[in-house]
Amino acid sequence: MTAHRLCVAPMMDWTDRHCRFYLRQISARAFLYTEMITTGALLHGDVERHLAFSREEHPVAAQLGGSEPQDLAHCARLVQEYGYDEVNLNCGCPSERVQKGAFGACLMAEPELVADCVRAMKERLSIPVTVKHRTGIDRGEAYDFLARFVDTVARAGCSTFIVHARNAVLKGLSPKENREIPPLKYEYVHRLKRDFPQLEIVSNGGITSRPQIDAQLAQVDGVMLGRAAYHDSWILADPGKSRAQVVQAMAEYAAHLPSLRYVARHMLGLYHGHPRARLWRRMLSDPARLSQNDPRLLLEALDAVESGPKEIPHERRPQAQEFQAGP
């Protein structure tokens, strides 16, 4: 089984250390990624704030954004010293702000530069360097463009490629639209695995269910889940885990934090699809209760959801056909 069989995507404002600690309670094995951290933020900003994390989060990778090989090498070294398991280079982000810094998805047009970045980082590191990218940029449909990118970067020593199976449209689409509008091209990702069997290929984009995970794993080495892992985190759950165990661990963790909001905001989706999901969300987002900063709110919400009065919200009342689906 490869290290990247199940991964949670880097997501700005979402996969902070508290979110990662929470996801780790749900899955002991999922490979977790930080939000993107730019080289500028580490060179000129508060390194401790960007890189500090809890040991319990392992395995965890830090994702860097940048395109200057020596800056990346310096920052990757910091990442290694902080104890991360991997450095990931962002070659998939389409935001305008990132394009001005000439990194993210526009790097796909410069495979030699990405190779230089990977080489410079690898010279300073003992942990692996991986790359996250798209299937192409703008309207480019050529599989050869993607294959040449991967081939060039692999020659520099990268052996794991995480492919968001959509093109990035650099002009005219917002980052959010860029996660929804360009069509999914899983066949390109699967073909990469066939053409480069020695590389570890991880498929990302639009994967939201266990059957979809299994379908991808039949073709590639791993899957990376983004929005589904955040909004419906139980999809990651290890067999035998209970939500109660997760909530109890988070209540203990939250007792050491300055604000309960740091964790409560990430936990809203824990009961996604459950008959009392709404009650859970309502309790965890109650401003008056949150401002009291008392982690027992998590336990009270757990109690209310797991054993409270059996009132089922209207929109989740079982439909007649759910009962008719007999053998």
Ligand X SMILES: Cc1cc2nc3c(=O)[nH]c(=O)nc-3n(C[C@H](O)[C@H](O)[C@H](O)COP(=O)(O)O)c2cc1C
Annotation marks residue 7 as catalytic:
no
**207 lines the binding site for ligand X (CB under 6 A):** yes
Contacts (CB under 6 A) with ligand X, residues 266-295: none
Q: Considering only residues 4, 6, 7, 14, which one is a binding residue for ligand X as defined by CB under 6 A?
A: 14
Stretch that binds ligand X, among 5-13, 107-115, 241-249, 285-293 (CB under 6 A): 5-13
Stretch that binds ligand X, among 142-150, 190-198, 202-210, 276-284 (CB under 6 A): 202-210
Q: How many residues at the interface with ligand X, by CB under 6 A?
A: 23
Per-residue x/- mask for ligand X, residues 55 to 94, rule CB under 6 A?
--------x--------------------------x-xx-
In angstroms, rounded to a whole number, what is the distance separating the alpha carbons of residues 327 and 123?
Answer: 60
222 lies in the site for ligand X, by CB under 6 A: no
Of 5 and 296, which CB lies nearer to ligand X in the complex structure? 5
Out of 3, 6, 7, 11, point to the residue binding ligand X (CB under 6 A). 11
What residues numbered 97-136 form the site for ligand X, per CB under 6 A? Answer: 132
Find, among 203, 188, 205, 183, the residue nearest to 147 by Cα: 188
Q: Does 35 bind ligand X (CB under 6 A)?
A: yes
Distance CA 51, CA 44 (A): 14
Give, as ranges, the residues between 228 and 257 that touch ligand X (CB under 6 A).
228
**By CB under 6 A, is residue 31 in contact with ligand X?**
no
Q: How far apart are CA 236 and CA 252, in angstroms?
A: 21
Q: Rule CB under 6 A: say whether 206 interacts with ligand X.
A: yes
Q: Beta-strand (E) ranges in 13-103?
A: 31-38, 60-65, 86-91
- Return d(Cα 189, Cα 219) in angstroms, integer: 9
When the beta carbons of 149 and 302 are compared against ligand X, the nearer one is 149
Question: Pick the catalytic residue: 93, 106, 117, 158?
Answer: 93
Binding residue for ligand X (CB under 6 A) from 227, 261, 278, 289? 227
Q: Which of 67, 135, 204, 216 binds ligand X (CB under 6 A)?
A: 204
Given the rule CB under 6 A, which of 11-19, 22-30, 263-271, 312-320 is the region that contacts ligand X?
Answer: 11-19
Catalytic residues: 93
Positions in the binding site for ligand X (CB under 6 A): 9-14, 35-36, 63, 90, 92-93, 132, 164, 179, 204-207, 225-228
